[in-house]
């Protein structure tokens, strides 16, 4: 370990230890979501299942609560419930990543964990850092135990990327297909359109450019954090585009994350060449809430395709002042979600391990309730919740309302689901909408200051941070018919 690496590691530990002492004063601290030990967290990185443990790395800026110099933080778990903080294994301590160890992924192969990430370097000078002044390369490190990592090796230098790209090429996701290793990178082309680049390798060290895939008309100017996998016999290309125009029911956040259902290896029937363009009409957002970006997926020992997203949003300061910054930390990751393909949609649902945290419950059943709501045929129930809970509900009729005190509500009517936050709980954010033909089931996992809402077992999801004044509040449900339970949740364990 170099002297610089040693000093960086010590400084990070010092900051984390100080923060640990201050934890009891943090009102918004989470009990069911992975958050940074100190400072800032963004994208999930290096997700994998390795030698009997799940590994979740993340973009971590312990030095600055508003984000800044990035390293990778690391949690691991045997069961996705009891988590252990493993420290910050990848530091910005080499000439190729001295302005940030940016996002990347893991591949488990030959008994080793291989990590691939983007090393970010900003040159000194008067640059725009889009078209000039930035050097990004793809770097590989490997580990025998998943905790200690070896030498960093640049496997794709900046100079080898195609010439029609800006300096924004990053976030390698690597997987194995047959005997070949494949990599996908996200990028911004010089003509300001987002695209992904595919590379292949036979040994994980030498990588050759294979092809580029984009849309025929520009679909945003940059695609970050790409992922590609097959699910239910379909190809799924996931990207986080920047630069889409806001609409009433789509693209409501500053940046988006979603997927195209497309086989990227399909060839043109006429000339046998790879198809360069995909149809942007198939793009579907992963999540309709305020806080969801840069998701990544992996398959675990049970063969499940699991997705974790960043429960945050870059560059959202215009509408949002996150109050946890005053507590010395910002952002978290979503719960691990199992993906399933149904028709033209991918459904997301919390992994079943999470159910083990459910404790005593309260039954909610409209058949035994006489209290009429606004409309004659509406039934209403109100119960108190104190602390994190998990609500599971079947609903009937054309409209449903769920209120979490006066802070958060979900209203479904006329084929539209709307999430509303009060002024205080939203910290500047007020509403998000999603179209949905029919609402049959609602699940809400509510943490201290993070809520995940799953409609129809994950057909539509809203993930959002919210900042309620009180932890004790009422939960009110109104619908023509409903049946379900609300469970108090035992805490997840996080050993720091
Ligand atoms: C997405 C992103 C990535 C980049 C990382 C830097 O949120 O901008 O493209 O690698 O964050 O932290």
DSSP character string of 186-234: EEEETTS-EEEEEEEESSSSS-EEEEEEEESS---SEEEEEEEEEETTE
pLDDT of 374 strictly over 90: no
pLDDT of 98 strictly over 60: yes
Question: What residue's CA is closest to ligand 1, atom 12?
Answer: 102
DSSP character string of 32-64: SS---SSEEEEEEEEEEEETTEEEEEEEEETT-
Mean pLDDT of 40-48: 98
283-322 exposure pattern, b = at least 16 Cβ within 10 A, e = fewer: bebbbbbbbbbbbbbbbbeeebbbbbbbbbbbebeeebeb
Query: Nearest-CA neighbor of 285 among 261, 251, 309, 258?
Result: 258
Mean pLDDT of 68-79: 97
Question: What residue's CA is closest to ligand 1, atom 9?
Answer: 224
Residue to mutate (ligand 1; options 43, 66, 220; most atoms within 8 A of CB): 43
Contact indicator for 113, 105 with CB cutoff of 8 Å: no
Contact indicator for 100, 92 with CB cutoff of 8 Å: yes
Q: What is the pLDDT of residues 116-166, one digit of tens each?
A: 999 999 999 999 999 999 999 999 999 999 999 999 999 999 999 999 999
Q: What is the pLDDT of residues 289-316, one digit of tens each?
A: 999 999 999 999 999 999 999 999 999 9
358-495 matches 3-350 in CATH topology: no
pLDDT at 486: 96
> Tokens 């946890």, residue?
324
Contact indicator for 372, 467 with CB cutoff of 8 Å: no
Distance CA 392, CA 406 (A): 20
Domain 3-350 has CATH 1.10.10.10: no
Instruction: Determine what percent of the chain is predicted with pLDDT higher than 70.
Output: 98
pLDDT of 375 strictly over 70: no
pLDDT at 268: 85
- The Å distance, Cα 131 to ligand 1 centre, comes to 17
Q: Under 8 Å CB-to-CB from 126, ≥6 apart: which residues?
A: none
Query: Nearest-CA neighbor of 331 among 18, 25, 36, 81?
Result: 36
Show the DSSP H helices in 50-143 as ranges.
none
pLDDT of 222 strictly over 70: yes
User: Could you give the 3-state DSSP secondary structure of residue 144?
Assistant: coil
Q: What is the pLDDT of residues 399-447, one digit of tens each?
A: 999 999 999 999 999 999 999 999 999 999 999 999 999 999 999 999 9
Q: How would residue 37 be classed by pLDDT, with cut points 50, 70 and 90?
A: very high
Q: Under 8 Å CB-to-CB from 181, ≥6 apart: which residues?
A: 107, 109, 174, 175, 200, 201, 202, 203, 204
**Hey, what CATH topology would domain 358-495 get?**
Jelly Rolls (2.60.120)
Q: Which two tokens stand for residue 154?
A: 């640049």
Instruction: Determine what percent of the chain is predicted with pLDDT higher than 90.
Output: 89
pLDDT at 370: 52
Catalytic residue among 17, 43, 179, 315: 43
Q: Where are the domains of the chain?
A: 3-350, 358-495
Query: Computed over its alpha carbons, how large is the radius of gyration of the chain?
Result: 23
pLDDT at 368: 67
Q: What is the mean pLDDT of the chain?
A: 95
Ligand 1 atom at minimum distance from 293 CA? 7
Q: How would residue 244 be classed by pLDDT, with cut points 50, 70 and 90?
A: very high
pLDDT of 450 strictly over 60: yes
Distance CA 62, CA 453 (A): 29
Residue to mutate (ligand 1; options 57, 102, 256; most atoms within 8 A of CB): 102
pLDDT at 376: 62
| 179: annotated active-site residue | no
Q: Under 8 Å CB-to-CB from 351, ≥6 apart: which residues?
A: 80, 304, 306, 335, 336, 337, 338
Mean pLDDT of 310-336: 95
Q: How would residue 371 be classed by pLDDT, with cut points 50, 70 and 90?
A: low
Q: How would residue 369 be classed by pLDDT, with cut points 50, 70 and 90?
A: low
């Amino acid at each position: 370990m170099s002297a610089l690496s040693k000093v960086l590691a010590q400084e990070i530990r010092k900051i984390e230890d100080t923060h640990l002492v201050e934890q009891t004063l943090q009102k918004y601290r989470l009990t069911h979501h992975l958050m940074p030990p100190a400072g800032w967290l963004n994208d999930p990185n290096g997700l994998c299942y390795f030698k009997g443990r799940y590994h979740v790395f993340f973009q971590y800026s312990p030095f600055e609560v508003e984000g800044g110099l990035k390293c990778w933080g690391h949690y691991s778990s045997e069961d996705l419930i009891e988590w252990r903080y493993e420290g910050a294994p990848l530091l910005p301590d080499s000439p190729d990543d001295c302005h940030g160890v940016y996002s990347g992924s893991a591949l488990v192969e030959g008994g080793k964990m291989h990590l691939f990430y983007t090393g970010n370097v900003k040159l000194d000078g008067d640059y725009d850092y889009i078209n000039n002044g930035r050097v990004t390369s793809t770097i590989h490190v490997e580990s025998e135990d998943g905790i200690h990592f070896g030498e960093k090796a640049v496997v794709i230098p900046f100079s080898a990327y195609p010439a029609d790209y800006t300096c924004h090429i990053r976030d390698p996701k690597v997987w194995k297909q047959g005997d070949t290793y494949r990599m996908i990178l996200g990028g911004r082309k010089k003509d300001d359109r987002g695209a992904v680049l595919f590379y292949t390798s036979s040994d994980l060290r030498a990588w050759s450019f294979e092809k580029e895939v984009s849309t025929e008309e520009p679909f945003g100017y940059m695609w970050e954090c790409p992922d590609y996998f097959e699910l239910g016999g379909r190809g799924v290309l996931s990207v986080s585009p920047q630069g889409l125009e806001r609409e009433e029911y789509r693209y409501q956040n500053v940046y988006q994350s979603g997927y195209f259902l497309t086989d990227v290896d399909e060839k043109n029937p006429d000339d046998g060449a790879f198809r360069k363009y995909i149809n942007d009409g198939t793009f579907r957002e992963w999540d309709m809430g305020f806080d969801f970006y840069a998701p990544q997926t992996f398959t675990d020992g049970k063969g499940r395709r699991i997705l974790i997203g960043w429960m945050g949003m870059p560059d959202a300061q215009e509408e949002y002042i996150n109050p946890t910054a005053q507590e010395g930390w910002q952002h978290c990751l979503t719960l691990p979600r199992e993906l399933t393909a149904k028709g033209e949609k991918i459904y997301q649902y919390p992994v079943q391990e999470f159910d083990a945290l459910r404790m005593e419950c309260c039954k909610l059943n409209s058949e035994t309730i006489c209290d009429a709501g606004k409309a004659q045929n509406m039934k209403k129930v109100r119960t108190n919740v104190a602390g994190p809970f998990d609500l599971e509900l079947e609903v009937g009729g054309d409209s449903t309302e769920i209120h979490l005190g006066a802070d958060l509500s979900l209203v479904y009517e006329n084929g539209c689901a709307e999430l509303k936050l009060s002024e205080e709980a939203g910290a500047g954010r007020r509403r998000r909408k999603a179209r949905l033909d029919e609402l049959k089931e609602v699940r809400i996992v509510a943490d201290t200051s993070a809520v995940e809402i799953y409609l129809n077992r994950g057909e539509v999801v809203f993930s959002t941070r919210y900042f309620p004044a009180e932890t004790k509040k009422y939960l009110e449900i109104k619908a023509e018919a409903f049946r379900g339970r609300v469970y108090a949740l035992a805490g997840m364990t996080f050993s720091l």
